[in-house]
Chain A
Amino acid sequence: MPYLGGEETVRELRRALSNPHIQTDHLRYRNTIHRVIRLMSQGVDVSGLFSEMVKACATGDIVQKKLVYVFLCSYASVNPELSLLVINTLRKDCSDPNPMVRSLALRNMCNLRLPGLCEYVEQPLTAGLKDKAACVRRVAVLGWAKIHALLPNTEIDAAVVNELYGLLRDPDPVVMVNCLRALEEILEEEGGVAINKPIAHHLLNRLKECDVWGQSEVLSVLQRYRPRSEDELFDILSLLDPALLSHHVPIMAATLRLFLSLCSMLPAVCVSALERARGPLLAAAGSSSRELRYAALCHIQLLLRSEPGLMGEHYKRFYCGYAEPPYIKQSKIQVLVELVNDDNVAVVLDELKGYCTDVNTETSQAAINAIGSIGRSYDDRCLGILTGLLELKQEHITSAVLQTLRDLVWVSPQYGDAVCSALEKWEDQLQDTQGRGALLWLLGVYGDRLSGAPYILEDFIDGVRSEVSAEVKTELLTATLRVFLSRPAETQDMMGRLLQHCIEEELDMCVRDQALLYYRLLHCGIEDVRRVLQCGRRSDLSLGPLIGRPPEPISQWASIFNTLEPLMLGASSNGFQFGNGPELEKALNMLSFPCTRVWFLKTLCLFVVIFQAYVMCPVPRCSPESLQVALQLVNIQTLAFTAPNKLPWKMYLYTHSSHTLTPHSSTTPPNTLILAEVLQFTML
């Protein structure tokens, strides 16, 4: 960081630090050191004062010592040779009668982070493990973990490891927990601390003595323990049971996780543990800290994937407060959708309706999406709310509503009439790409019923030159062709213009290719066009597994419970929460119409993109088996796929180009095998 006069100040400080008058005057000496540390905190490079500061650590004043150590630890890596000078002082401090000084010296000796100094540190650390003051033992135990982190390739002496195992029985609970932490780090390659029966029971018995942090640590280490018999398992469970109701959220969450891992074979016990922990979980979701509230909400979303009924009657606890930040509101909305049942649907919809006009665009879109997905299983009240929102004439709301309507009628075609009547008097202009895509899709599908459809399309076609989004253009092509099928007279002319533009002037290859495809398709005859564009796999039951979400087994997520991951999922799933059926349908339809190999690969790319949005981003929502069945319907065969929880997740696909369906490409050899690899990129 540039700091005016930095060098001058450093020089002045060096003079002051080496001035014997100041050195003898405690107060002035200490104030000079304060100035150095303050500059360091402000980002000024004061590493040049290292040798002067080394001298300053030989003092009886403990606060001064601490400050000098802070300085030395920050700059040791820049001055490895000079750091050697400190070691002597530190080692002398390690045998100081005052335990505070001993622990301070020991801690900072390891914090210098210089691999070259490790040999000097080992001896005081070994002595520290046997120190009579607990605070020194605490530091010494973690010191070994620090040494291991510095020299990951050298083995820590087996005697030390044994000593650490012995210290698990230390009277001081923090020493015990630090031992666990250190052993976990040192023995990471062997899979962490070996937890046998005596150790497990010892830890369980001393659990109550630890503080919140310690208890969480012990509980998470205990996950690796496998009780020998069912009796022992149930003894442990009943011992831990009260902790499920603990009002320290971290302890409750750690206990719940331990329960889930101990009882992975006993789903009934898991479910009852979840029910026991419901109260504390709800309390956590109402916690006064918004971050903890968010963490709790993300975990509740995880639980609801397996036990959708768990929080049903407590839906009111997930109502949004006005001042809550958008990320909390959005998670709450997602939870509310899961909690809808016959009794509360009306109330929840009312509440969600209020969120649709939220100032934050994302939140209002999330609320609109939520209403749409409730609409899949509940009456047309949802539709009333959605069409009502169109009248607000707010751009982002309209766009979100159109997308939601598209997804909704795709799953529940019975809403078609209502959607048509809402679109009948459409005359707005939309800027948003996604919204326009959705509008075009709706126009294409309901072109026969919407009297104004060709006119709206004409507007789009007239403006196609200034259209930037390829997505809208491809959507426009499909929509125009669909409308052409039902109303040829009105559409033929503009379709011609559109195709001409897209084939001759368009620069985007995807749009051009699609236009060419449609052009050739039209040559094949109207029946073929109809088959490709209107056979519509709309609300095909076999696609159910891709849209719906059957309850998952608890084991699917138990391993990530109470870690960072649910929060990352919560953050990433916002965009993909509710699937985009029509896009998938389009991709599948394209695939079912085999043309050239190039076209297939291109479509497959599109498909892969959608597939990613679908299957992986939030977390795989459907099992590979059901995906396989869905893909077989469109002549894509699965060669192999990796196990569901493996990352990166891969799937190998192939297809035959069957000549019966390809009249104009009969020259290509039959049975072309095309292989594709779908790769799931890891989120974390």
Chain B
Amino acid sequence: MSVSAVFVLDLKGKVLICRNYKGDVDMAEIDHFLPLLMTEEEEGVTCPIMMHGNVHFLWIKHTNLYLVATTNKNSNASLVYAFLYKLVEVFTEYFTELEEESIQDNFVVVYELLDELMDFGFPQTTDSKILQEYITQEGAKLEVAKTKVPTTVTNAVSWRSEGIKYKKNEVFIDVIESINLLVNANGSVMSSDIVGTVKLKTMLSGMPELRLGLNDRALFALTGRDKGKTVSMEDVKFHQCVRLSRFESDRTISFIPPDGESELMSYRINTHVKPLIWIESVIEKFSHSRVEIMVKAKGQFKKQSVANNVEVRVPVPSDADSPKFKTSTGHAKYVPEKNLAVWTIKSFPGGKEFLMRASFGLPSVENDEMEGKPPITVNFEIPYFTVSGIQVRYMKIIEKSGYQALPWVRYITQSGDYQLRSNF
């Protein structure tokens, strides 16, 4: 990979901040970026890679910003995109929200970060945990003491500094599973999978050695145990702290955790699960007069669990007016700017079934523009429950000083990309 320069542009194509890393591409080339993008948009063929002369623009869009990398080499595209996303990640950790204003307000830090993240077109220190140790936002204060190189830049354990101290040693484990679902208009499940993440909030002193035990099917097969429910995970991805060689040889997840919050691992499970919230919808469109919508939502999970903040988003034609709603529970409202009727149910117990009826008026003059058929989407959150049945069996914490530490575990299931195609 080799990136000539990185630019951050606002939506009008004005350069907010840029950094010329290699000097082999004229910085004025960026002026061609937005016109190119506009022509592509007009033709409806936008593409994340564009070419002008022999310069390639690789770009991503984040909130109201374009992040653009230029190169004139046949470099590795996915690596460049990965780097641009890394930029977004690092900036977001610094400014919580990455947008035009935060870039302008923090340009000093942005310059400093751009300097450290990449040199001569090659990524250098990209771990935001490490960066935060020597590039701080309190740059405006005068202090000379912090100019010391952090040990982590050269440390063997690059993600954790030495000498961390807590009064009370605790570690919080969050197991979060999100369900992606795609249901056809005729009600058959086209695809469904579960994407899980295990997040840690570590508040431990010293250099503790942690071991996490899950009811991983491959592990149980390895050790010959077969009691209880097991889960087989795919595409397991770990934080860099996990010793991959040990996981590959005997499926043990052992690591020295980074301090504070971090994502320890993520996995995907490709089993067919029963859709947790099932939606049946009838949308009848009487041209020139009205649209009648009937939506039935059914909670297909255990009776003792409760889904919170359920939101069923039903698409309505863009020229609809005068909404009327009737719901058996919760409340519904019309969001005209998104062409949606949103039905919110604060708490939705398992096994229950609810109904919403809505009707909209349609103008007598028909809208010429073609509209797509947006799907119905559902958002929800079910605490104390994982669809896949994954469980943390133990978390062992060993530190030289021998302190006692408590692990806390929390499970939650939520909707990911949860779509049911409608038929109207």
Contact = CB atoms under 8 A, between A and B. Distances in A.
A608 interface: no
A386 B372 CA distance: 19
B154 A149 contact: no
A261 interface: no
A66 B112 contact: yes
Contact of B49 (A70, A394, A568): A568
Nearest to B14: A43
A568 B51 contact: yes
**For the complex of A and B, 4 pairs with smallest distance between CB atoms:** A247-B237, A213-B123, A359-B372, A295-B78
Interface in A240-254: 242, 247-250, 253-254
Interface of B: 1, 14-17, 20, 22-24, 43-49, 51, 56, 58, 60, 71, 73-79, 81-85, 107-108, 111-112, 115, 119-120, 122-127, 134, 139, 142, 144, 147-149, 153-154, 182, 185, 190-191, 234-238, 240, 244-245, 248, 268, 370-375, 417, 419, 421
Interface string A63-89: 100110010001000000000000000
Contacts of A358: 372
A295 B190 CA distance: 24
Contacts of B237: 247-248
B60 A289 contact: yes
A interface bracket (residues with beta carbon within 8 Å of B): 35 or more
A19 B240 CA distance: 51
Contact of B373 (A177, A327, A357): A357
Which of B49, B79, B182 has the most C-beta atoms of chain A within 10 angstroms of its own C-beta? Answer: B79
Interface in A311-367: 316-317, 319, 321-322, 325-327, 351, 354, 357-362
A98 B24 CA distance: 32
A205 B144 CA distance: 40
Contacts of A290: 48
A250 B45 contact: no
B147 A100 contact: yes
Contact of A174 (B44, B124, B373): B124
Contacts, number: 200
Given A212-B82, A571-B47, A63 B191 contact: no
A10 interface: no
Interface string A292-314: 10111000000000000000000
A248 to B, nearest CB: 7
B46 A325 contact: yes
B45 A327 contact: yes
Interface in A139-178: 139, 142, 145-146, 149, 172, 174, 177-178
Chain B interface helix/strand/loop/mixed: mixed
B120 A100 contact: no
B297 to A, nearest CB: 20
B75 A362 contact: no
Given A99-B149, A360-B44, A562 B235 contact: no
A211 B154 contact: no
Nearest to A38: B107
A273 interface: no
A53 interface: no
Nearest to B139: A63
B74 A327 contact: no
Contact of B79 (A134, A149, A250, A357): A250
Given A149-B24, A319-B191, A289 B112 contact: no
Contacts of A139: 119
Interface string A566-590: 1110110010000000000000000
B269 to A, nearest CB: 12
Given A135-B154, A568-B51, A295 B122 contact: no
Contact of A142 (B48, B79, B119): B119
Given A101-B147, A138-B124, A216-B1, A250 B49 contact: no
A328 to B, nearest CB: 9
Nearest to A62: B147
A565 interface: yes
Interface string A466-489: 000000000000000000000000
Which of A99, A145, A247, A325 has the most C-beta atoms of chain B within 10 angstroms of its own C-beta? Answer: A247
A250 B78 CA distance: 6
A27 interface: yes
Nearest to A74: B20
Contacts of B56: 564
A563 to B, nearest CB: 5
B129 to A, nearest CB: 13
A62 B237 CA distance: 38
A74 B84 CA distance: 22
A10 to B, nearest CB: 18
A377 B149 CA distance: 66
